[in-house]
């Protein structure tokens, strides 16, 4: 697709992954304005939600990535045949992430494709956030991020954050690159954006923000991955999986919180795929990322 302006009619085509549907754009511009400074993610005003693609792939086998809609907007999306993957409020708007195709992977993973985020005011659709056709990643789900923002995650087999959506004004939102820091525990704990970074670099970024590595158990075998990580100075490794995606887990701590970090892959310096902070006063209510 060329770099010309994307009209709402073309958005309908992007949503379904095929020919444009009978959805029509609003005659009047939507009151909600959404700008984007992320090259692969865009938004356009849309007042009618197109129907979902007729072929949903392995949707039933990926049901763990689908949520039961709680909002009227979410139920409206589900009624159009889409699978709702997340719901969250941002300002006066209700955001609903939804997808049209699913492909099951190994180790309980699924690829989520034809993903988008609908932005509703009440029950009226105002805009849709989507990834451009030349983007390598699709939107998988949306989750709350801070006080007035949402985080868009991709739909890859191993999901990674894609962009942030934040409030700019009463009727204005912006799609921006990932925030460099994320605050937890009433702002007392800061976690840097270490997604996709080698663990040796990630642990240094954590150290600079006061996170101390928690020494892991002694490896069962001197030739194990845990032992190899210790040789690289990564003493906080807890366990590594010998199959599947090759996950390894690590532990860090601050006075008010603990942090479990996970890497993926069998490289000597594996990269971060996720983290899970827990405030010490909220151990039974973790905030998962």
- What tokens were used for 194? 């270490």
Which runs of E-coded beta strand occur in 17-109?
A: 33-36, 41-45, 83-90, 93-99, 101-104
Q: Do the Cβ atoms of 67 and 83 come closer than 8 Å? A: no
Backbone φ, ψ for residue 64 (5° rounding): -70, -15
Q: Which long-range contacts (CB under 8 A, 24 or more apart) does 143-147 make?
A: 143/86, 143/88, 144/88, 144/89, 145/179, 145/182, 146/179, 146/182, 146/183
- In sequence order, the β-bridge partners of residue 261 are 250, 275
Q: How far apart are CA 192 and CA 209, in angstroms?
A: 8
Q: State the 10-residue block means of pLDDT for the chain, 289 residues long.
A: 34 42 40 93 93 91 96 96 97 96 92 96 94 94 91 95 92 94 91 96 97 94 92 96 89 97 94 94 49
Residue burial 166-191, b: 16+ Cβ < 10 Å; e: rest: bbeeebebbbbebbeebebbeeebbb
Residue burial 230-251, b: 16+ Cβ < 10 Å; e: rest: beeebebbbebeeeebebbbbb
pLDDT, position 221: 87
Q: How far apart are CA 49 and CA 259, in angstroms?
A: 40
Helix (H, G, I), strand (E, B) or coil at 264: strand
pLDDT, position 284: 44
DSSP secondary structure code for residue 281 in this structure: G
pLDDT, position 51: 87
pLDDT, position 282: 52
The model carries a pTM of 0.82
pLDDT, position 208: 97
What separation in angstroms does the CA of 254 have from each of 210, 218, 257, 261?
7, 22, 5, 14
* β-pair type (172-176, 33-36): parallel
Q: How many residues does the chain have?
A: 289
- What tokens were used for 200? 């040796």
């Amino acid at each position: 697709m060329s770099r010309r302006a994307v009209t709402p009619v073309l958005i309908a085509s992007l949503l379904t992954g095929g020919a444009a549907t009978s959805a029509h754009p609003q005659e009047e511009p939507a009151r909600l304005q959404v700008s984007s400074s992320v090259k692969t993610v865009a938004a356009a005003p849309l007042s009618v939600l197109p129907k979902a693609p007729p072929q949903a792939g392995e949707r039933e086998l990926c049901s763990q990535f689908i949520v039961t809609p709680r909002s009227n907007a979410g139920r409206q999306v589900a009624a159009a045949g889409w699978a709702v993957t997340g719901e969250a409020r941002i300002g006066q708007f209700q955001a609903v992430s939804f997808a049209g195709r699913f492909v099951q992977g190994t180790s309980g993973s699924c690829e989520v494709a034809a993903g988008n985020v609908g932005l509703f005011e009440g029950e009226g659709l105002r805009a849709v956030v989507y990834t451009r056709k030349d983007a390598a990643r699709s939107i998988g789900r949306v989750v709350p991020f801070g006080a007035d923002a949402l985080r868009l995650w991709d739909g890859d087999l191993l999901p990674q954050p894609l962009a942030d959506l934040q409030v700019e004004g009463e009727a204005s939102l912006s799609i921006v690159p990932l925030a460099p820091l994320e605050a937890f525990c009433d702002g007392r704990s800061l976690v840097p954006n270490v997604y996709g970074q080698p663990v040796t670099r990630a642990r240094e970024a954590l150290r600079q923000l006061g996170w101390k590595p928690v020494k892991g158990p002694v490896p069962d075998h001197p030739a194990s991955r845990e032992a190899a990580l210790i040789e690289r100075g990564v003493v906080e490794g807890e366990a590594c999986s010998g199959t599947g995606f090759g996950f390894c887990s690590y532990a860090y701590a601050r006075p008010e919180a603990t942090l479990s970090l996970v890497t993926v892959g069998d490289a000597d310096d594996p990269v971060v795929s996720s983290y899970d902070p827990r405030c010490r006063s909220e151990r039974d209510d973790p905030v998962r990322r």
